[in-house]
């Protein structure tokens, strides 16, 4: 089964790093969005197995993206990324319906363990 991931982040470097790490764990179909609005459009037009969303998207707050994604697919794993671990408490409070949270940067192993919780074929 081919896994399809959506990576929404305003930073090209961060999007590329997440996409590279996803490729390393076997996720070859990675679609990138530069902001929350573009991510919502992509979610409406395609099926994804997992979504990575930047906490501070330039166009549209992550809360709006998560809410829209939940309307499209209530069970879709949404992993919200934030640049500082000290923001996690605030993030979890403001975006409680996300599936999980990761601090950027993270290791490929951390990414694998997080994604494997929702996409078991990644666990290997």
- Sequence ranges of the domains in the chain: 4-112
Q: What is the pLDDT of residues 107-119, one digit of tens each?
A: 999 999 999 999 9
Q: What is the pLDDT of residues 31-84, one digit of tens each?
A: 999 988 999 999 999 899 999 998 865 545 788 899 999 999 999 999 998 877
* Spatial distance between the Cα atoms of 27 and 22, rounded to a whole number of angstroms: 5
Q: Check residue 46 and give its pLDDT.
A: 84
Between helix 36-45 and helix 62-72 the angle, nearest 10°, is 10
pTM of the model: 0.90
Does the domain at residues 4-112 carry the CATH identifier 3.40.50.2300? yes
């Amino acid at each position: 089964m081919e896994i399809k991931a959506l990576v929404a982040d305003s930073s090209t470097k961060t999007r590329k790093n997440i996409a590279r790490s996803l490729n390393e764990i076997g996720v070859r179909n990675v679609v990138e969005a530069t902001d929350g609005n573009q991510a919502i459009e992509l979610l409406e037009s395609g099926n994804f197995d997992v979504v990575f969303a930047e906490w501070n998207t330039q166009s549209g707050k992550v809360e709006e993206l998560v809410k829209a994604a939940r309307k499209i697919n209530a069970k879709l794993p949404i992993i919200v990324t934030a640049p500082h671990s000290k923001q996690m408490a605030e993030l979890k409070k403001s975006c409680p319906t996300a599936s999980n949270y990761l601090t950027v940067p993270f290791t490929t192993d951390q990414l694998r363990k997080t994604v494997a919780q929702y996409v078991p074929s990644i666990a290997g």
